[in-house]
A and B are shown apart, each in its own frame.
Chain A
Amino acid sequence: MSESAVPVVRVERLRKIYTMGEDRVIALGGVDLTIEPGEFLSVMGPSGSGKSTFMQIIGLLDQPTDGTYYFEGKDASNLTPDERADIRSRRLGFVFQSYNLLSRTSAVENVELPMLYAGIPEEERRRIALEKMEIVGIAQLAKHAPNQMSGGQQQRVAIARSLVNNPGLILADEPTGALDTKTSNDVMRLFKQLNNDLGMTIMVVTHELDVAKNARRIVSFRDGLIVSDKPNEQLVGVA
């Protein structure tokens, strides 16, 4: 991999403190982490452990209180909202627990959405969207609206949507939270495929160990700090 020299994500002493009146809530208390291109890691932890805050900062939806964050080698700790929006538009892919698809809008139009803001011409948007839908195996549902699809199918639409800008990093926030076990396994298998076959860098945030175990690296958060960061033993031999 040519980009292997530059980590996708490098954070040092990352802190996030919320002030609510008199109270100061330390959501992240000084986190160091590096994600190399092609990695598939899961971020685990109970609610309140800081994993969601971490994902929001990594996803450039939020800013750290202090510490440094380099995204693809560039300092991303102090960007304007518009600069962050532009990076999200071109280099990041998001998958959410609740899919977040636009209702009364066909699957293919949902997949096209990020390209609208990246300024990609219409014909190309349609071509790329269909190509990504093919990859996640739902090309036949292109004209369907979200309410005509199962949860698993909707999440695949969302995954296809996260792929359209060839992101440097896919962030999945509890992607299986709304799915049953079998569908949940299917979705995680899809992430593994994207990682193996396309070399996508993926970070899955979850509180379920079964889900986390699909990744090759498991990072555990507790009280705003990383308490463990190790390769997935189950997969070490296989990989």
Chain B
Amino acid sequence: MTLMATLRLALQALVRNKARSLLTMLGIVIGVAAVIVTVAIGAGARSSVQSSIAGLGANLIVVQPGSVTQGGARTGFGGASSLTPADGMAIAQLPDVAAVSPLVTLRTQVVAGGNNWQTIVNGVAPTYTFIRDWPLAQGTFFTQSDVTASAKVAVLGQTVVSQLFPDGNSPVGQTALIKGVPFTVIGVLAAKGQSGTGQDQDDTILIPYSSAMERLTGLTTVNQLMVSAATADSVDAVQAEVTKLLQTRHRIVPPENNDFQVRNLQSIAAAASSTGAVMEFLLAGVAAVSLIVGGIGIMNIMMVSVTERTREIGLRMAVGARSGTILQQFLAEAIVLSTIGGLIGVVLGVLGTSGVALLAKWPTTIPPIWIALSVGFSALVGIFFGYYPARKAANLNPIEALRFE
């Protein structure tokens, strides 16, 4: 018999016992649907974490001051006052470094017009917009000559604009008092949204780092150096180069005494994706177990079916079915059963996923490979668990099968 004829025959046999076929499929249906929904939620969470990491900047390496011990108390990273803009300039000379920006951070009150607002003021270099991949919405960004002159110019984030200039007029050209010092607003950043940790990234003001140091903090050190590697592949090499350079500049031996710390965001991304990989591995395990349970259900019902249809099998053999044909037919029934179950499971899983996305407002993505994988695995389950009952049917003796009561 042709493949089509065998499949048609299998389908007919299953339709003849609709209720039982549906109940038999249920294990596979639920298994596959559960897999699709959990994978969709997991993948959704993962991709939102990854996109927020990507939002932090391209190939970013962060250099922070290290910890110092003061009177027996260790300050934690960032406690030491060891990084200077000169360190940043030296790093910028390294090969494969695309851009460097110091970061001087302070939280302070800002006044403009009749409004005031506490926000984070970041003193940065003009390269900052490139490092953070953060375009302007209006006006211009400050330049290297503004840095050299410690100019009193500021670029506002969207949240600050809406708090200080609620009337909708462009803030460009207006004056804002930062910690009592008047700065001229020369630009507005495009909206960036929340960071991966839930902070409002638009609640910020950018000014030249030199202005921040001289006019606001009065310090000669910076909080951070942000380094952008030329390519994703060079991140590790640049990280090592930066470490070596700073050890030389800060005259540090042995390396355990580093007064700085160099981190790259790829390690954060790798940690996030390895968490995701563990989760997917667990899901695959759950999927395998539920599909195997479904498969055992199929085997169980197929065994009952073979016993019940013993006379039918005997008759089919008497009128000329080879035992191989009988094997094929029962195997086809198991495969059709499990594959249809898998397809129904996918449909329910997709519906369930959009339900979760709609009701719980969770980000979800269904990787197409999982749809193919779960349907394929269902078919495999059918072959594996259908084989034994099918062989039992094929090995029946036609004479005894015909006499079977």
Q: In the complex, what distance in Å separates the CA atom of A114 from the CA atom of B325?
A: 13
* Stretch in A4-12, A83-91, A133-141, A183-191 touching the partner: A83-91
Question: What 1/0 flags go to B273-316 for Cβ under 8 Å of A?
Answer: 00000000000000000000000000000000000000110111
Judge whether A117 and B319 touch: CB under 8 Å: yes
Query: Do B399 and A56 touch (CB < 8 A)?
Result: yes
Q: Mark A51-65, 1 if CB is under 8 A from B, else 0.
A: 000001001011000
Contact B320 A90 (CB under 8 A): yes
Query: Given A116-B5, A116-B9, A119-B1, A88 and B16 touching (CB < 8 A)?
Result: no
A203 CA to B325 CA, complexed, in Å: 28
Once A89-B319, A113-B316 are accepted as A-B contacts, the answer to whether A104 and B16 lie under 8 Å apart by CB is: yes
Contacts of B319 in A (CB 8 A): 88-89, 94, 113-114, 117, 161
Which residues A161-187 have CB closer than 8 A to chain B?
A: 161, 165
Residues of A within 8 A of B325 (CB): 117
Interchain nearest-CB distance for B396 vs A (Å): 11
A46 at the interface (CB under 8 A from B): no
How many residues of A sit at the interface, in one of the four size bands?
Answer: 20 to 34
Cross-chain contact A100 with B399 (CB below 8 angstroms): no
Do B311 and A61 touch across chains, with their CB atoms under 8 A apart? no
> Which residue in A56, A59, A117 is a CB contact (below 8 Å) of B321?
A117
Given contacts A100-B315, A102-B312, A105-B16, contact A114 B399 (CB under 8 A): no
A96 to B318, CA, bound (A): 11
Could you say which interface size class chain B belongs to? 20 to 34
Contact of B322 among A56, A82, A105 (CB under 8 A): A82
A117 touches B316 (CB 8 A): yes
By beta carbon, the residue of chain B nearest A104 is: B16
Q: Which residue, B317, B319, B321, B399, has most C-beta atoms of chain A within 10 A?
A: B319
CB distance from A173 to the nearest CB of B (A): 9
- With a cutoff of 8 Å between Cβ atoms, the chain B residues found around residue A98 in the complex are 311
A82 CB contact (under 8 Å) in B5, B314, B324: B324
In angstroms, Cα B319 to Cα A82, docked, is 12
Evaluate contact between B321 and A85: CB separation under 8 angstroms: yes
Q: How far is the CB of A51 from chain B (nearest CB, A)?
A: 14
B272 within 8 A of A: no
Cβ contact within 8 Å between B320 and A86:
yes
By a CB distance below 8 angstroms, the chain B residues around A235 are none
Q: What residues of chain A lie closer than 8 Å to B224, measured between beta carbons?
A: none
Shortest CB–CB separation between residue A110 and chain B, in angstroms? 10
Q: Does A48 contact B (CB under 8 A)?
A: no
A-B contact count (CB 8 A): 61
> In the bound complex, what is the Cα–Cα distance between A88 and B315 (angstroms)?
11
The 8 A CB mask of B319-344 against A (1 = contact, 0 = none) is 11111110000000000000000000
Cα–Cα distance between A225 and B319 once the two chains are bound (Å)? 28
Which residue in chain B gives the minimum CB-CB distance to A52? B399
Contacts of A86 in B (CB 8 A): 320, 322
Given the interface contacts A100-B311, A102-B312, A104-B16, does A117 sit within 8 Å of B399 by beta carbon? no
Residue of A nearest to B5 (CB): A116
**With A and B bound together, what is the CA distance between A96 and B398 in angstroms?**
13
Contact A81 B322 (CB under 8 A): yes
Interface residue A209 (Cβ < 8 Å from any Cβ of B): no
| Smallest CB separation, A87 vs chain B (Å) | 8
Interfacial chain B residues near A62, Cβ < 8 Å:
399
Across-interface contacts of B321 in A (CB, < 8 A)? 85, 89, 117
On chain B, the residues within 8 Å of A102 by CB distance are: 312, 315
Contact bitstring B387-405, A, C-beta under 8 A = 1, else 0: 0000000000011001000
Closest to A59 in B: B318
* Minimum Cβ distance to chain A for residue B92 (Å): 78
A118 on the B face (CB < 8 A): yes
A191–chain B nearest beta-carbon distance, Å: 18
Q: Which residue of the partner chain B has the closest CB to A98?
A: B311
B320 lies within 8 A of A85 (CB)? yes
A89 to B325, CA, bound (A): 12
**Complex interface: chain B residues within 8 A of A82 (CB):** 322-324
CB distance from A151 to the nearest CB of B (A): 17
Chain A residues numbered 90-139 whose CB sits less than 8 Å from any CB in chain B: 90, 94, 96, 98, 100, 102-105, 113-114, 116-119
> Which A residues are in CB contact (< 8 Å) with B316?
113, 117
Interface residues of A in 144-173 (CB under 8 A from B): 161, 165
The reply to whether A89 and B320 contact each other, CB–CB distance below 8 Å, is yes
Q: When the two chains form the complex, which single residue of A104, A114, A116 contacts B1, counting CB atoms closer than 8 Å?
A: A116
Chain B residues within 8 Å of A119, by CB = 1
Kindly list chain A residues whose C-beta atoms are within 8 Å of the C-beta of B5.
Answer: 116
Q: How far is the CA of A132 from the CA of B399 in the complex (A)?
A: 26
The closest CB in chain B to the CB of A85 belongs to B322
Closest to B398 in A: A61
- Which B residues lie within 8 Å of A105 (CB)? 12, 16
Distance of A220 from chain B, by nearest CB (Å): 23
Set B9, B311, B320, B324: member contacting A114, Cβ < 8 A: B320
Given known contacts A117-B325, A161-B319, what 20 new A-B pairs fall within 8 Å (CB)? A62-B399, A81-B323, A82-B322, A82-B324, A85-B321, A85-B323, A89-B319, A90-B320, A100-B314, A104-B16, A113-B316, A113-B319, A114-B319, A116-B1, A116-B5, A117-B319, A117-B320, A117-B321, A119-B1, A165-B320
10 cross-chain pairs, A with B, having the tightest CB-CB distances, nearest first: A89-B320, A114-B319, A117-B320, A85-B322, A100-B315, A104-B16, A88-B320, A117-B321, A82-B322, A94-B318
Q: Measuring CB to CB, which residues of chain A are less than 8 angstroms from any residue of chain B?
A: 56, 59, 61-62, 81-82, 85-86, 88-90, 94, 96, 98, 100, 102-105, 113-114, 116-119, 161, 165
Provide 22 A-B residue pairs closer than 8 Å at the C-beta atoms, listed in order of the A residue: A59-B318, A61-B317, A61-B399, A62-B399, A81-B322, A81-B323, A85-B320, A85-B321, A85-B322, A85-B323, A89-B320, A94-B319, A96-B315, A98-B311, A100-B314, A104-B16, A105-B12, A116-B9, A117-B1, A117-B319, A117-B325, A118-B320
